[in-house]
Structure formats: structure tokens, C-alpha cells
Structure 1
Amino acid sequence: MGGLTPDEHMEDTLLRWNRLNDRGLTISKSSSPQKTNYIQTTVVRTMTGLRRKDKEIKDKTEIEAVLREATVGRLGTSRDDTPYVVPVSYVYDNGKIIIHGAKQGKKMEDIAANPRVCFEVDTSEIITSDDPCNYSYRYKSVIANGTAKILEDPHEKLAGLRLLTEKYAPGKGPELTEEHLKKNRNLNVVEITIHEMVGKKSPA
């Protein structure tokens, strides 16, 4: 606290709060680990959301339906200030996204170095017309930000692989066993915990 008493710290916090509000920022509050009566402050930029509010999918159920329906996802990672995007097979389950891949490779190296990731999916179809200028696109898309974790526990890995298999080969998921894991030791299973997501569709 830099030598401040709890009352002085509170006064300083309120002053900073007012300055940040004037700048369009917000402060998140949490209890101190020492359980004293002052407030720890963290500056958090207010999310602006979609520019086209008329195209935003506001129903979480509809957003989750897009995540379940799409067959290909695009994983975005970043390491050393260099972004990287790769298409992946995936499955969405209760706020989490499961992907898999070889232990070696840029995707896993990036996740190990920086677990903060972005994930995008979409479904679409072309709307045709006699007039080429009237061609259009009907789509739904979801972008999610989250934290990726390479699963180490064999039971968690097997559960994730069963979910993935069941999506792409219905009825086959339960057939996977720990023996399959032993035969594929070079395989990583990654669980992405979603922190925020937004959906968009057109026509709205």
C-alpha cells in the first residue's frame, strides 16, 4: 500500500475511480488477500461489443447452437507478438472447447507459451440472384476468447477424446478406451475455457 493507512488508501482509490470514470474506464474490485478493509484495484477497459448491434446474436442458446453445429473451428494463438490461426476439429461442451493435435508443432508450442487464445466458428450459405450485384451471404458466426490448457490427466484426456469422437462419428465415442491413449502417446488434448464470446448473424 506504499505506507498508506487503510483510510488513506480508500481515499486514494476513490480519487482514481473518479479519474478513470472520466476517461471511460472501469475498476474491478476484489478483497485483499490480507483481508484488510481496503480495496485492491484493477483497471479494466469497458468492452464495446459489436459495431453492428442489429446483427448481434443476443441469445446465448443460439450462440451455443452455432458452436455445436459448425464442423471446423479456427484457433488463434499469439507468441512473441506474432499471431497464428489454424483450422481445427473441435467439440463444444458446457462452456468449454476441446481440440486435439500432435504434441509437437506450433499450435501446442504457442499454447504452452501463452494460453490466452481466440476461437472462431461460422456456418454459412451463398444467396444467389439473377443479378450478380445482388448475391449475398447468409451466415452465423461466433468469436470466443478463453484460456487453453493441455490436459495431463488420462481420464480427462479420454473424456475429451470421447466427446470429439462422438461429434464426428456418432455412437463411436464410448468405444474409446485408455488403450487408445497408450497407442497414441504423441497426442495432446486441449481444453479451452471460454471467458467471453459474441455471436453475429446476417441477415439479422
Structure 2
Amino acid sequence: MRRKDREITDYQTMLEVLAACSCIRLGLADKNGAYIVPVNFGMAEENGKLTLYFHGAKEGRKINMMKKQPRICFEADRKHEIVTGEKACDYSFLYQSVIGYGEAQFIEGIDEQEMAMNCIMRHYSGKDSWEFNKEIFEKTNVMKIIVSEWSCKEH
């Protein structure tokens, strides 16, 4: 990160910033270029290892790109505020953001899929014990990102 004075390095604060975000954006790439797509997510942290969970259709551009290149980027941001001023250069934009990298993996087992979906639902509802119709997993990919590196910034 270029601006070290804006970096958030406290791990718990980084987790809090990410947890307060309403979606993550996946950054994917293939021979045709870059592709960014927002997804709902859930997160789990264990022993300093962060895992993000998300779901989607069984086919499509996002799925095809992740199968070809599972190393992906993610981004999330929040606390947007425009600072105004008398001059153009007095204007600014305040925010908190998280950017990271990791390996996307497709979750195959029904038990882990249910755990991941509960994690996603907990992120949005605060409730932890949802029941899912097993047939939904025949139509839905459940995926995770094993985060290898990430940073957090505040301006």
C-alpha cells in the first residue's frame, strides 16, 4: 500500500471493516480481460485464517473464469462520504476499503455447503441456524475464497 498513513493494520479492526460491508466484488481475469462482479458473502476466521463464502449459478462467466483461473482478487468498501470545499482540490472522498487475494474453490460436500450458506445468511441476518432445501444445492454453486493476503485502508 502506497499510503501507509491510511492503512489499517489491526487485525480485529480489519475483520470489523469487512464484516460491515454489504457485498464483495470479485476481480477475475482471462485472455479477454478483467471482469468484476459483486456477490453476497459470508466470512469465517479461524486461527488468523480468513475464508470468504459466496454462491451463484452453476454456469456463467464468473464460474467459467474461476474454473480456468482460481486465483482471484476481492474488494469491499463502506463509510462513503464526500468532503466538500471552496476549491476543487478541497474536495475528497472518505471511505474504508478491503482488498485481498486468494484461491477460489468450489464446495462439493453438502455439509460444507450448508455451513457456508449459513455463514452467508449470518452475515446478513445475524441468525446462525438456517435450514436449506437440499435440492437448492443441485442448482447452486457454493464457493469459498481461501484468503492468502489482504489489506485494509481508511481515508
Same fold (TM over 0.5): yes
Q: Secondary structure at the match of 2:138?
A: coil
Q: Secondary structure at the match of 2:134?
A: helix
- Aligned counterpart in structure 2 of residue 192 of structure 1, from 133, 145, 148: 145
Larger RCO of the pair (alpha carbons < 8 Å, separation 6+) = 2
Deviations 1:4-55 (A, max 9, x none): xxxxxxxxxxxxxxxxxxxxxxxxxxxxxxxxxxxxxxxxxxxxxx111111
Partner of 1:23: none
Q: Which runs of 5+ in 1 are unaligned?
A: 1-49
RMSD: 1.7
Query: What residue identity is the alignment partner of 1:106?
Result: R
2:103 corresponds to 1:147: yes
2:117 corresponds to 1:164: no
Query: What residue identity is the alignment partner of 1:97?
Result: L
Deviations 1:60-89 (A, max 9, x none): 111111111100111011222622110111
Mapped to 2, the partners of 1:129 and 1:79 lie a distance apart of 39
Query: What residue identity is the alignment partner of 2:96?
Result: K
Query: What residue identity is the alignment partner of 2:146?
Result: T
**Identity within the alignment, %:** 30
What's the offset of the Cα at 1:128?
A: 4.3
Query: What residue identity is the alignment partner of 1:144?
Result: G
* Larger gyration radius, structure 1 or structure 2: 1
Greater helix content: 1
Partner of 2:31: 80
Mark the CA change 1:102 to 1:132 in structure 2 (over 3 Å): closer, same or farther: farther
Greater strand content: 2
What's the offset of the Cα at 1:100?
A: 0.5
Mapped to 2, the partners of 1:87 and 1:102 lie a distance apart of 14
Mapped to 2, the partners of 1:103 and 1:79 lie a distance apart of 19
What's the offset of the Cα at 1:175?
A: 2.5
2:55 corresponds to 1:104: no
Q: Note if contact 2:83-2:94 (Cα within 8 Å) is conserved in structure 1.
A: no
Mapped to 2, the partners of 1:71 and 1:181 lie a distance apart of 26
Deviates more, 1:161-170 or 1:100-109: 161-170
Mapped to 2, the partners of 1:164 and 1:68 lie a distance apart of 11
TM-score by length of 1: 0.68
Kindly report structure 1 stretches of 4+ aligned residues shifted beyond 4 Å: none
Q: Note if contact 1:126-1:135 (Cα within 8 Å) is conserved in structure 2.
A: no
Query: What residue identity is the alignment partner of 1:169?
Result: S
